[in-house]
Every structure is written in C-alpha cells, then in structure tokens.
Amino acid sequence: MGFGQGLSGLNAAAQELDVIGNNIANAGTVGFKSSSVTFSDVFANSQVGLGVKVASVNQRFTVGSISNTGNSLDLAIDGTKGLFRTEDTNGNVLYTRNGQFFADKDNFIVNAQGQRLTGFGLIGDDLQALTVPVGNLAPRASADVTTRANMDANANPVYETGVTEVLGSVWMDDAGPGASAQYQYRIGSTGQISWFDMTNNPVSLPDGTYTATTDGVTQDSTTITLATTTGQAASPAGALGESATVGTAYTAPIIAHPFSLTDPESYTHTLPLTVYDSVGNSHQMIQYFVKRPGGGGDSQWDVYYALDGNVVNAATPHEITYDTAGRLKTGTNANLVIPNPGGADAPADALELTFDYTGSTQFSGDFSYNFTQDGFPTGEYAGLSVDTDGSVIASYTNGELRTIGYVALANFNNLNGLKAFGDNSWIETGASGQPIVGRPGTNGLATIKGQALEESNVDMSQELVNMIIAQRFYQANAQTIKTQDQIVQNLISMR
C-alpha cells in the first residue's frame, strides 16, 4: 500500500511541477491565463486512503496587466468577462484573450494564426469577419451652413442711394385741409429749394402757403410762402419781403454705395467659408453683411452671397432684422440654389445651401462669428482605431471618421469548461455552456482598450514559491517510498 500511495504522490507532484513550469514558460505570452492544480484523495473500502490524484487543472481567468503598444489593431480586454471571438479558415470558432491583430492580404483583421476577428456590422446582429476598409470615402455636397455671429450694433449704415447735404427740417401745416408733416429741405447752388421727407425720399409740394409748426402746434410767426416747388422760397418771419432762416439743423451728405465686391465701403462685414459640391470640389463662399438705415425700431441687414467671386443673389439680398435688444427677429434661414457650381470643366449637381442664423445677435462690439458646414471632399483611408465600446473607426485624409463595425466579445457561464486548443485559444464544450456574445460594455461584458495588450497573468513570485512547495511535496513522497523499501528489506532479511 505504501508504495502505491507514495507513487501517487510522486505523480501528483510531477504534474503540479509541469503546470508550474508551463506557467513560468508563458510568463511573456500575451493574454495567457495561468493554471493551478486541484488534488483529491483516493479511497477504497479501507480506513487508509490509497493516495492522491489530480482532480483538475484549472485556469485562472484574472486580468493581466495592460500595456500600451501604439499599434492601431492591438486590443486589450479590460475586465474579466470577455473573450475575442475568431474563426479559422475551416470555419471553426475559437476564443482568445490575445489581442495581437493585424490586416492580412485580403484586408481581414487576423491574429498570428490567421484566425479572423469577428464582430457585428452597422446593421443587425449577424456575426461576420471584420475587415479594414479600402478605397476612397465618397464626398458629400454641402447642404447646411450654420452661422452664429454678432453684428456690430455701432457700425455705420450703408446707403444704396445718395443724398446731398440737407440744410434743415421743419414741421409744416398746410393752410388747407390735411395733417401736419415734417419735411427737410436742401437749397441748391442756384438757389433752388428741394423738399424731402424724413427718410430722404424726395417729395413734390404743391404751390401754396404753409405754416411751420413745432410738434403739431402752429407757429404763425414762421409762415413760409412757396411760390413754386422748384423756385426760391421766401422765408419771412414778420413783414412781407423780410428774410428768415427756416430750420437750423444740418445733415451731412449721404454718399451712395450700392453693393459691389470691389467696393469695400458697400458692405459692413464679410465671412468666408469653404463649401463642397457633389464631386468633392471645394468652392469659396463669402457672406457679405450690409447694415442698412434702420426704421421702425429694428435694425436691418442685407446678406449677399458670392461663390468663387460671383454674387448669386445680387437682385434679392437676404434680409435679417434685429430688435432693440439685439436679438434676431427675422431672416433666420436663407436658401440658395446654385446650378452647376463646377462649371463646364467639372460639372456637378446644383448646390443647394441652407444658411441658418439662429442665435445670431447685434450687440455693441466687434464682429465675431462661429460657423459650420456639413460637406467634405473625398478622402483616402488613413488608419483604424477601436473605441471602448468595440466600435471600429476608420479615419480618412479629409478628416472624416466612419464607424465600420463593432468587435464582438463572448463570455461563458463556466470558463473552466472551455477546452484549450493551443495557440493561446479555447473552444466551446458542453461543460462550458453556450457563448454569450455581445458588444463590449453591454450585458456585463468588459470594455476594450485600443492600442494596448493584456499581458500574461502569471505571478512569477508566486510560481517560484509554488515550485519550492511542489519540490518538497515530491521529495516527501519519494521519502515514503524509500522508507517503505527499507521496511520491506528488513522483513526480507529476517528470513
């Protein structure tokens, strides 16, 4: 009996040393999970046990240290629950914690064994092999342009039509029926008098006698006799033939600046931006903001649009108004349709643009702005990255990013029920149960850390201590065999 017990102990100790040696050998293997031996005693129909046996070899699925590598397709599972799901060329499904992946000649994302990393597409939950995108990203024509700007409330208005100097203004009440009205006048170099309303629009007053008033109250002492609408107007303040000045205000000349790209005084602010047509060609779009003379308490601005130096709405500028608090009142949106923006050399679809000025203001201060537009040119594939939720994101030379799929993770109710397949991978068994597959971070699954790898979880210090213990275990069992042998020798020598 003693020989069998000691021999079982030697076998158990030898297997434990094998496990410890395998752990130490794989201390540098990415994603490796160390193992430990579970022993159980052997009993028969006797009071004394028959020795020991190895009940199982269990792997410890604790998380190893995560180290950054900088390689775009290196992936680490940041948590205990989750295994990468891969497929070999024969269609066999394998599971691994080794996240060293790269693109093969067919643009599939594979590991060193050629097993393809699987995941989900953008639509649906069907599992498929993930690939690296090829070809150019199609351009997108600009459609929506948002502009949030502050117009300078103190900017000088720009007049479309000019007015020479105006010498004065007066309230006048017609001697006949009619309400009081305020007019302003201008005397020309030949002594001719011309009349205008208070918005600088010329008016034609009929012949007659007018009485100047102040705020609608008749002032008889300032009667104005108008011989003709174009003649010299006498301004007697008292007796007939005596002269007096009518009104003392002076308005400086107003110089006309109709809108023109070549006249910087015909617009107040400019805002250049780049837009793209349907084939990806870029065009310079400049918004010209023109402050107009106010009326009715609101401030009016006209907006002209020029594409590649050509004004596209010269006859119908977009009108924007602000209230007395500087808030946008009207003109929130403007729509433009520009046929064939590329011309004969680069024909493209009509450029349909919607300008949104929501949030724009007119406060005292410098012109400031922030704008966005949704178009972009074509771009070449530049690189790949993986987000924490498993999103596989492709980047392009035009600065655009596109999610092309999601890495899948699998978990099992009994990880130790998996069967080691070699090459640091496992396969499903009946003892492990069916895999629970999902996106990282969902259903209790771990998250992904991109450009990083999970190192082996072997604790070298612990393994060396376990080796010493196993060595003592082996030596002690060998000693029981030696002692049993001595006893047998003594029995034989008694003969």
Give how far Cα 246 sits from Cα of 211, 253, 439, Å.
11, 19, 86
Do 152 and 284 sit in the same domain of this protein? Answer: yes
Place of tokens 């050629």: 114
- Provide the number of structural domains found in the chain: 4
Task: Count CA atoms closer than 13 A to 269's CA, side-chain side.
Answer: 20
What is the pLDDT tens value at each position of the chain, 495 positions in all? 567 787 888 888 889 999 999 999 999 999 999 999 988 888 877 677 778 888 888 889 999 999 999 899 999 999 999 999 999 988 899 999 999 999 999 999 999 999 999 999 988 889 999 999 988 899 999 999 999 999 999 999 999 887 766 666 666 654 444 455 667 766 655 556 677 777 777 777 655 555 544 444 444 334 444 433 333 333 333 222 223 334 445 566 778 899 999 999 999 999 999 999 999 999 999 999 999 987 667 899 999 999 999 999 999 999 999 999 999 999 999 999 999 998 888 899 999 999 999 999 999 999 999 999 999 999 999 999 999 999 999 999 999 999 999 999 999 999 999 999 888 899 999 999 999 999 999 999 999 999 999 999 999 999 999 999 988 888 888 888 887 777 777 777 776
The two structure tokens encoding residue 220: 């008889």
Do 183 and 202 touch, CB atoms closer than 8 A?
no
Q: How far, in Å, CA of 21 to CA of 471, rounded?
A: 12
Claim to verify: residue 484 and residue 432 sit in the same structural domain: no
- 131 in the same domain as 31: no
Q: Are residues 151 and 128 in the same domain?
A: no
Cα–Cα distances (Å) from 42 to 18, 46, 49, 328, 482, in that order, read 21, 11, 6, 89, 21
DSSP state of 227: S
Let me know whether 319 and 387 are in one domain: no
Same domain assignment for residues 154 and 267: yes
pTM (global) more than 0.75: no
Is the same domain home to 105 and 118?
yes
